[in-house]
Amino acid sequence: MLKFDLLNVMLLFLMLGFNGACAAKPNAVTAPPTTIKTLPVNSTQILVVPDQSPYSSLYKQALANPKINSAAVNRAFEFFLKHKDNLITSELCLGKDNAANLKKIRNQNCLVIADYTKSKLEPRLHIFKFDENKIYNLLTAHGKGSNLKEKDHKASKFSNQPNSLQTSLGFFLTDISYSSSKDTFGPGPNNGVKLDGLSCTNNNARRRYIVMHTAKYVTDVVESKDSIGYSEGCITLAPSQKALMLSCTGGALLYTHGDI
């Protein structure tokens, strides 16, 4: 009996010691996470972005601005924070024609969001410049094949297929700038930026020649309903915004958001 009781006491002691070693200390402080699980496309759930993060200020500014779609902002920032230092390729859908150096978001001073849930007559291209602590809200066109209802001036159909002339949704990385002699582009040189699609909905970007470029049919302000024309699926800015566009070359994240 004595041996049995002594054995039970020893086992009890070991169990208490084990639980004490694994239990969380009541005064322990854990670091806040920088991101959360992947959000649904139209989620308005607020991300946990620590105050000391260089991205926190503009994230909060965007959420506080009723003219900026919080669902689009959340999706873009969630992806940015998760992949900025290491693109998790198993979660992406890379195209065969993509550039070979897609390892991380190399240009972390810039984040571009094109919100195609809005009319082309509203500022729906939001460029976050973290190095300036400023958000630029600009006009942008969408693909002529995406405009099924002329009167509402909105993109309502999206495609990744060549020759569709439609806007594609999803995540892109910017690449190098280039010069185009197309008459519809703004004045050169360096009036376009090549893009690599990271999503199954846009990974034909290289094959389709989907780029970000300045365009004569995009203005800084809406003067009439015809102020903003249509692209062939590209992301476009007014020619006056070329310097801003070029600051987002070299591996910045671009997210195109839409109703699907």
Q: What is the DSSP string of 30-68?
A: PPPPS--SPPPTT--PPP---TTSTTHHHHHHHHH-TTS
- Identify each DSSP E strand in the chain by its residue range: 110-115, 125-129, 134-138, 170-178, 192-197, 211-214, 235-237, 253-257
pLDDT of residue 26: 32
What is the rounded average pLDDT of the residues 5-24? 39
pTM score, whole prediction: 0.82
What is the rounded average pLDDT of the residues 175-201? 96
DSSP 240: G
Please say if the pLDDT value at position 56 is more than 80: yes
pLDDT of residue 100: 76
Please say if the pLDDT value at position 90 is more than 70: yes
- Of residues 158 and 22, more confidence is placed in 158
Residues 6+ apart with CB under 8 A from 65: 135
CA separation for the pair 63, 58 (Å, rounded):
9
Per cent of the chain over pLDDT 90 is 70
- The least confident of 39-48, 51-60, 196-205, 237-246 is 39-48
- Of residues 205 and 40, more confidence is placed in 205
pLDDT of residue 225: 78
Banded model confidence at residue 97, pLDDT cuts 50, 70, 90: confident
Please say if the pLDDT value at position 18 is more than 60: no
pLDDT of residue 95: 85
Please say if the pLDDT value at position 220 is more than 60: yes
Instruction: For the beta carbon of residue 199, count every other beta carbon within 10 angstroms.
Output: 20
Banded model confidence at residue 21, pLDDT cuts 50, 70, 90: very low
pLDDT of residue 3: 45
Q: What is the mean pLDDT of the chain?
A: 85
Please say if the pLDDT value at position 209 is more than 70: yes
pLDDT of residue 170: 97
CA separation for the pair 74, 68 (Å, rounded):
11
Question: ∠ CA 248-252-257 to the nearest 5 degrees?
Answer: 100
What is the rounded average pLDDT of the residues 89-97? 90
Nearest to 258 by CA among 187, 186, 175, 171: 171
CA separation for the pair 213, 247 (Å, rounded):
13
Please say if the pLDDT value at position 96 is more than 50: yes
What is the rounded average pLDDT of the residues 1-22? 41
Helix pair 70-83, 56-64: axis angle to 10 deg: 170
Say if CB 171 and CB 195 are below 8 A apart: no
Residues 6+ apart with CB under 8 A from 200: 93, 160, 170
What is the rounded average pLDDT of the residues 148-162? 85
